[in-house]
Each structure stands twice: as structure tokens, then as C-alpha cells.
Structure 1
């Protein structure tokens, strides 16, 4: 049976951990507003450029860009966005589980997988997956990501796509729904497939390109890819702070439950010890 001193030590240890968890919960709560604001500021641009690209895909293009062309799939690529730090509950695990299910689909058909990793948690996890190859890795982008931090990873994957070493590109990240919900998401970035065909099938229209459709599309499609990757990163950051806040709140609440259980156990041990001492005293008097 544990001594009362050991139980008190466990209670003090859990209280210290509880204080740390509470502090981390408050820090994440203070960061949530900023990360959500950053996500909401960039969201209209990402959605608008996606809509424009979907409309262009339905038009009659003088210049057929390779980003609109379907290929026979020999290799696929993924941008995988995770957190740099832990203590986020099941945020990263749920994303990795979704990714592994997607990977198994390609592995069963003998298709190779190349990865551009953003976040140390994804780097450490995916490094152990033998069927994949990491071609780019970015860690430590912090809470205020800049496009300059991501442009290297974007260029590496686009070069592979342009050289036909990768035939399809995906973005995997945690989509922010609300403070309590973050959903693992896998989006196809390239080739571009329009999602507005049902809405626009009866409309007859096209864009006028000025000065030249080739120059315009090359620049526009580059910005499209960059905006989608950046939006995935800022949404993942908002998801990270929300998940960490909820994980630390749960840890703090669970710590209180454990402390109450230990206090009850402490009182039982103490009562048992007092009873034993009383029995010894009574037994001593009876011998006398």
C-alpha cells in the first residue's frame, strides 16, 4: 500500500502539471484570435482565385496549359501540412491516418509518392514510411507564416510536375471548421478540374485575355497554387491553436479528477493507518 507521503507527492506533481496545462491553454486561447483573423483575411482571395481558375477551365482556351491536362498517373505528390509542436490532441494523428489510407490506394497500384512536408511532426512521421519519398521539408515557420517561407517547397513540387516526374499534386492539411472541430482535408491542386460544370453548363461565355493568354495563365496559375498552399498552412495553424487549447483544457480537467481520486485514497490510507495505531494501543493495554 502506498504511504501518505507518496500520495501527497503524486498530488503535488499532478498540480504542477495542471498549472502548466492551464498556462498553455491560456496561451493558445490568446493566439486563436490572431490565427483565425489571418486565416479569414486570406480566405476570400484563395476562394476567388479558385473560382476564377475553375471558370477558365470551362472556357475555350487558345493556349492549353499543362495544368489543365489529365495524365496517365505514374507518380503523385503531396504537400503535407502539420504542426511543429505537439500537445494538440489527435490533430496530427487524424491527418496522418487519412493520408495513410490515401497512400495505400496508390501503393496497391504501384504508383510512387513524393512528399513536400511542412511541419516537423509530419517530417518525423513520414520519414518512417518506406513507400514515400520526401523531396522537400520545411520546419519552424512559426505562428506568422510568410509566402517566402513556403515558396521553395512550392517550386520544388511544381518543377517535378512540369518535368512530368509527378502527374498529380495534392494538398493535405487540417481544415478549420470551428474551435471544437478540425477536419483532415486532402485537396487536388493539379491538374485543375472544374467543380462548376453543373452550374455553368448552359452558359456560353469565355474570357478575353489581355495582352496574351499564355503569359496571363502562367502567372495566374502560379498564384493559384501559391494561394492554396498558403491558405492550407494558415488554416492548419488556426486548427493547431484550437486543438491545443482544447487538449490542455481536457488535461487540466482530468488532472482535477485524478487529484480528487487521490485525495479520497489518501484519506482511506490515513484512516487505515490511524485504525492500525489504535488497535496497537488497545492491544498493548490488554497485555498489561
Structure 2
């Protein structure tokens, strides 16, 4: 049985750890509020942008736009978006696992796969594969639209040069504080966005655009890529704080359980020590007789 001092030291250490995890939980909750508001404010913009793209791209001729060029897929580029920091449970691990599964699936089809890592955790995990073409680390804490524009421009240049035939962005979609699900979305070639349900039924007739549809599409397509990347970064940013809040809450509860168990051990050790002392006293008294 461990000594009283050892158990007491462990209890003190676990209580200090509990204070740290509780503080991190509160910080993550405060950051989540801001990140979630930012993400939810951007979602209507994304929805409207997709609606505009659906109206324009539905009747567009893909041959007129280089970013819509469909060719035989030999090289695939995966833009993997994770956080820069850890201590958020399996949040980043789920994205990495999905990226590796997609890589294996494409390689079984005879395709070459490269990664563009957005976030330090993606770079650290995927660099072991030797397939990381470019990494953007230390930007997820305070990212802006210009960061998304830089990433989208780089990927688009690779596609236009023929270095890759298909580009997908992989990120964790924010469902709720308790649920974040890795999803993959095709970026390039830009596909005509199809509307379904009531929206599709309401659309009828031809639209007259000024300037021409071609001129508008030339401007909107690069912006569309920026929106896709930035929306993915916002989803990951909110999901990271939600996952960290949940992980720190679980860690705090685990610390309480450990302290409770150690307290029982401490009481047993103390009881055993008192019993031994009493036996020594009784034994000494008997020896004096």
C-alpha cells in the first residue's frame, strides 16, 4: 500500500490538474461563442452564393471556363483542414483518419494523391506519408479571408497548370457542440450546383444577366473557391472549441473520480497507519508489564 505522503501528493496534483482543465473548459466555451456566431453569420452568405452559382452554372458551357474543365482524374489533391492546437479529443484524429482512408481509396484506383495541409495538426500527421505538397500552419487561431484566398489561389493554379485533375477539401462540419462530422467537398473542377426540392420547382424561365454570364462566372468562380475554403475553416474553428470544451469537461469529471478513489485509498492507508501505531503502543505496554 502506498504511503500517506505519496497518496496526498497525488491528490494534490490531480486537484491542480482539475483546476487547469476547468479553466480551459471555460476559455473554450467563451471562444466557442464567438466562433459559432461567426460561422452562423457566414452560412447565409454561403447559401446565397451557392444559389447564385446554381443559376449561372446550370446552363454554362464547361469548355468556356478553365476551372470547370473535366478531365481524366490521375492526380488528386486533398485540402485537409484541422486545428493548430490539440487537447480537443478525437476532433483532429477523425479528420486525419478520413484523409488517410480517402488516400488509400484513390491509390487503389491507381490515382496519385497529394495533400495541402491547413493547420499544424494536419501537417504533423500527414508529413509522414511524404505526400504533403504545401502546408499552412499557425493560421487557424486568427485566420481571415485573405488566408482562404491564398490557399484557394494556390490550389487553382495547380489545377490550371495540370498538376492535379481533382481537388477536394476535407474538414469537420459543425453539427452541434457534441457532434462534429468529417466531410469532403469537391472544389475543382467547379461543378454546376444543382438545386433540389421547392427551390428547383420555383425556378423557371431564363434570366437576363448584365454583364454577360461568362464575365460574371469569370469573377464568381475564384470567389466561390475562396468561400468554400473560408467556410471550411470557420466550421473547423467552431468545431475545435466545441470539441475542446467537451474534452476538458470530461477531463474535469475524470479528475473528480480519481480524487474520490485516491481519497478512499488515503483513508485506508491512514487507518492502517493508525492501527499499526496502536498495536505498537499496546505491544510496548505489554512488554513493560
Taking structure 1 as the reference length, the TM-score comes to 0.92
Is 1:231 aligned with 2:226? no
Equivalent in the alignment of 1:70: 70
By how many angstroms is 1:163 displaced?
A: 1.3
Shift of 1:55: 3.4
CA–CA separation in structure 2 for the residues paired with 1:111 and 1:258:
50
- The gaps in structure 2 that reach 5 residues or longer are none
**Deviation of 1:63 (Å):** 6.4
Match among 129, 146, 150 for residue 148 of structure 1: 146
Contact 2:174 2:235 in 1 (8 A): yes
Q: Where do residues 1-288 of structure 1 align in structure 2 (5 Å cutoff)?
A: 1-61=1-61, 64-130=64-130, 132=131, 134-194=132-192, 196=194, 199=197, 200=200, 205-288=205-288
Deviations 1:85-121 (A, max 9, x none): 1111110011111111111111112311122211101
My pick for the range that moved more, 150-159 or 25-34, is 150-159
1:227 Cα shift?
0.4
The offset of 1:22, in angstroms, is: 0.8
Do the aligned partners of 2:58 and 2:193 also contact (CA within 8 Å) in 1?
no
2 CA distance for matches of 1:80 and 1:165? 18
**Tell me, what secondary structure is at the counterpart of 2:79?**
strand
Separation of aligned partners in 1, 2:237 and 2:195 = 32
For residues 62 and 113 of structure 2, the distance between their equivalents in structure 1, rounded to whole angstroms, comes to 33
Q: How many matched pairs?
A: 286
Q: What is the aligned-residue RMSD (CA, Å)?
A: 2.1
Contact 2:56–2:213 under 8 Å retained in 1: no
Q: Structure 1 205/252 Cα, relative in aligned 2: closer, same or farther at 3 Å? A: same
Query: Is 1:54–1:192's contact at 8 Å kept on the other side of the alignment?
Result: no
Deviation at 1:278, TM superposition (A): 1.8
Q: Please give the alpha-carbon distance, in whole angstroms, between the structure 2 residues aligned to 1:114 and 1:244.
A: 29
Q: CA deviation at 1:145?
A: 1.9
**Cα pair distance change 1:62/1:233, threshold 3 Å:** closer
Partners of 2:25 and 2:158 in 1: CA distance: 41
**Cα distance change on mapping 1:37 and 1:270 into 2, 3 Å:** same
- In terms of mean alpha carbon deviation, does 218-227 or 268-277 score higher? 268-277
Q: Deviations over 1:39-86 (max 9, x none)?
A: 111111112212322333321549632333322111011211111111
The separation in 2 between residues aligned to 1:202 and 1:11, in whole angstroms, is 66
**Greater mean alpha carbon deviation, residues 79-88 or residues 61-70:** 61-70
